Amino acid sequence: MQRICVIGGSRYFGKLLVKRLRAAGHQVTVLNRGSTPPPADVEHLVADRDDETALTTALGSRTFDVVVDQVCYTPVQAAVAARVFAARTRRYVMTSTIEVYDPATAALPAVPPGTPVPEELVDPASWTVATDLPWHDDTYLETHYAEGKRQAEAVFARAEGFAFASVRCAHVLGGGAQDFTGRLAHYTERITQGEEIAVHANARPTVFIHHEELADLLRWAATAGFTGPANACSDGPLDVHDLATVVATQAGREPVYRTVPAGAEASPFSVDRHYAMSNARAKKLGFSFSHTADWLPGAVAEALATAPSPTA
């Protein structure tokens, strides 16, 4: 049994992570702003992670074997957490994102199309950190999401007092109530209604992970002992047409596509640049991934069950 603090952990795959940790016999503390309570057998601390004094007060004298940070988006948040937890944990795991590799958001080395992107493309130990940018501005943060994650990783990678690992998540999918971004519903609704799906002319494949698999991977990462970034994605990349085909097959409707110019906004998961991740490092470290074909049809079925009735 280990003492594990989950920052966030009240929604979506974070909530499932907490259940997985408890089922594995760990002592779990959830720290969030109090909007949603955790299960009854989990300690709940309420604090705003942006408020260093409040965070320190809420933690009191508690120490942990591991902290799993589900909701760190900026280097400012990371710096606060690094100071507060420096003497309170021996391991810190941050949930990061595939978007750190998006070449549209930073000057990154080119990766040939079709070559899975490895972790070393974005090295947090050498990434520039700028805490004086307007990270507290929601509009700025929304448009600089990938850079916020890169810099947050960089702050933790240089912190002293604990070992650090980041899990760079692929696009997370689930059906029904687990479709927390609404992106799968975008396809089920448009296909069942016969509405257009906006796609790029040369849409590139991207990578996905089921919300349950991601919860399992984060549970594994909490105690696996590795440091540095690890990519988290199921085997079997898909482009936007592949995804739409799975939905259309179950819906019994043909997808209708509308091609948009390069650089224009399109439907979710239609990308005109390559940054599909490699999961080779996590496999080498001992995690076994599923294939998208193992779970995507089930997620689509759940999404279709809640989609509006098709129009005539």
Q: What is the pTM of this model?
A: 0.94
Assigned CATH class of 3-173+207-235+276-289: alpha beta
Instruction: Give pLDDT, residue 139.
Output: 96
Q: Is residue 307 over pLDDT 80?
A: no
Is the model's pLDDT at 11 over the cut of 70?
A: no
Query: Can you name the residues that pair with 199 across neighbouring β-strands?
Result: 259
User: Which of the residue ranges 9-13, 64-68, 197-201 would you say has the lowest mean pLDDT?
Assistant: 9-13
- pLDDT category at 9 given cuts 50, 70, 90 is low
pLDDT tens digits, residue range 263-290? 788 999 999 999 999 999 999 999 999 9
Report the distance separating Cα 18 and Cα 27, nearest Å: 10
Arithmetic mean of pLDDT, 79-83: 97
For the chain, the structural domain boundaries read: 3-173+207-235+276-289
Structure confidence by residue, pLDDT tens digits, 92-120: 999 999 999 999 999 999 999 889 999 99
If you average pLDDT over residues 47-68, what whole number do you get? 96
pLDDT, tens only, 170-187: 999 987 767 778 899 999
Residues with Cβ within 8 Å of residue 61, at least 6 apart in sequence: none
The predicted pLDDT at position 272 comes to 93
